[in-house]
Amino acid sequence: MSSSSHPAANVELNTLRERVQFLEEALDSSASAMEVLASTTAIFGDTRRSRSPERIIQNSAQALRALLPALDMAIYIVDNECSFNLARQEHPGTLEPDLPCIVEQLIEDGQFAWALHQSHAVCLPSPVADESLMLHVISTRTRIRGMFVARFRQEDLQRYEVIQATLTMLLFNTAYALESADLFQMMERRQQALQRVTERQSRDLLHHMSHDSLTDLPNRMLFSDRLSQAIERHAENPDRVALILLDLDNFKRINDSLGHRAGDELIRKVAQDLSELLDRARAHSGGRLRTTLSRLDGDEFGILVEDSQGLDGIVRLVTDVVRSTATERRIFEQPVISSVSCGIAVYPYDGKDADTLLGNADVAMHEVKQRGRNGFRFYTHDLHSRTFHHFELENELGQAIAKDQLVLHYQPKVALDSGRILGAEALIRWQHPTRGLLLPDHFIAVAEAMTLIEEIGEWVLRQVCRDLQSLRLPPEQLPRIAINVSARQLRHPDLAGDFHRIISEAGIPPRCIELELTESTIVDDPEGALRVFQRLRELGMSLAVDDFGTGHASLIQLKQLPADTVKIDRSFVMDLDQGADHSRIVHAIILMARTLDLDVIAEGVETARQAEILQELDCHIAQGYLYAYPVPFPQFRDWFQDAVTLPVTTAGD
Residues 412 and 547 in one domain: yes
Residues 547 and 614 in one domain: yes
Say if 299 falls within a structural domain: yes
In sequence order, the 6+-apart residues with CB closer than 8 A to the CB of 452 are 397, 398
Residue 53 has pLDDT above 90, yes or no: no
Residue 652 has pLDDT above 50, yes or no: no
Residue 174 has pLDDT above 80, yes or no: yes
Domain C-terminal end among 158, 185, 212: 185
Residues 602 and 528 in one domain: yes
Range of the domain at 419: 405-641
Say if 592 falls within a structural domain: yes
Report the domain count for the chain: 3
Query: What are the Cα distances from residue 447, in Å, to 212, 399, 404?
Result: 32, 12, 16
In sequence order, the 6+-apart residues with CB closer than 8 A to the CB of 80 are none
CB 289 within 8 A of CB 223: no
pLDDT at residue 367, rounded to an integer: 83
Name the pLDDT band for 206 (thresholds 50, 70, 90): confident
Q: Is omega for the bond preceding 100 within 30 degrees of 0, making it cis?
A: no
Residue 127 has pLDDT above 80, yes or no: yes
Residues 520 and 417 in one domain: yes
pLDDT at residue 523, rounded to an integer: 65
Residue 509 has pLDDT above 70, yes or no: yes
Q: Can you give the CATH number for the domain in which 273 is found?
A: 3.30.70.270
Residue 400 has pLDDT above 80, yes or no: yes
pLDDT tens by residue, 283-334: 888 878 889 999 998 899 999 998 877 777 888 899 899 988 888 888 888 8
Say if 207 falls within a structural domain: no
In sequence order, the 6+-apart residues with CB closer than 8 A to the CB of 74 are 86, 88, 89, 90, 99, 100, 103, 148, 149, 150
Say if 308 falls within a structural domain: yes
Say if 397 falls within a structural domain: no
pLDDT at residue 92, rounded to an integer: 92
Query: Which amino acid would we find at residue 108?
Result: E
Query: Which amino acid would we find at residue 132?
Result: S
CA-nearest of 259, 253, 247, 254 to 329 is 254
Domain C-terminal end among 140, 160, 185: 185
Residues 350 and 433 in one domain: no
Say if 396 falls within a structural domain: no
pLDDT tens by residue, 255-266: 877 888 999 999
Residues 509 and 605 in one domain: yes
Say if 445 falls within a structural domain: yes
Q: Taking residues 107-120, what's their average pLDDT? A: 90
pLDDT at residue 651, rounded to an integer: 38
What element of type H or E holds 510? none
**Cα separation, 271 vs 246, whole angstroms:** 11
First to last CA, the chain: 152
Residues 415 and 357 in one domain: no
Q: Can you give the CATH number for the domain in which 528 is found?
A: 3.20.20.450
Residues 157 and 12 in one domain: yes
Q: Can you give the CATH number for the domain in which 18 is found?
A: 3.30.450.40
**Cα separation, 566 vs 517, whole angstroms:** 10
CB 121 within 8 A of CB 161: no
Residues 239 and 173 in one domain: no
Arithmetic mean of pLDDT over the chain: 84
Residue 182 has pLDDT above 70, yes or no: yes
What is the secondary structure of 432-500 as a DSSP string? Answer: ETTTEEE-GGGTHHHHHHTT-HHHHHHHHHHHHHHHHHHT---GGGPPEEEEE--HHHHT-TTHHHHHH
Residues 420 and 370 in one domain: no
pLDDT at residue 184, rounded to an integer: 80
Residues 630 and 494 in one domain: yes
Residues 174 and 248 in one domain: no
Domain C-terminal end among 185, 209, 236: 185
Q: Taking residues 578-588, what's their average pLDDT? A: 84
Residue 144 has pLDDT above 80, yes or no: yes
Over the Cα atoms of the chain, what is R_g? 48
Say if 540 falls within a structural domain: yes
Highest mean pLDDT among 148-157, 392-401, 528-537, 551-560: 148-157
Range scoring the smallest mean pLDDT among 242-246, 426-430, 466-470, 591-595: 591-595
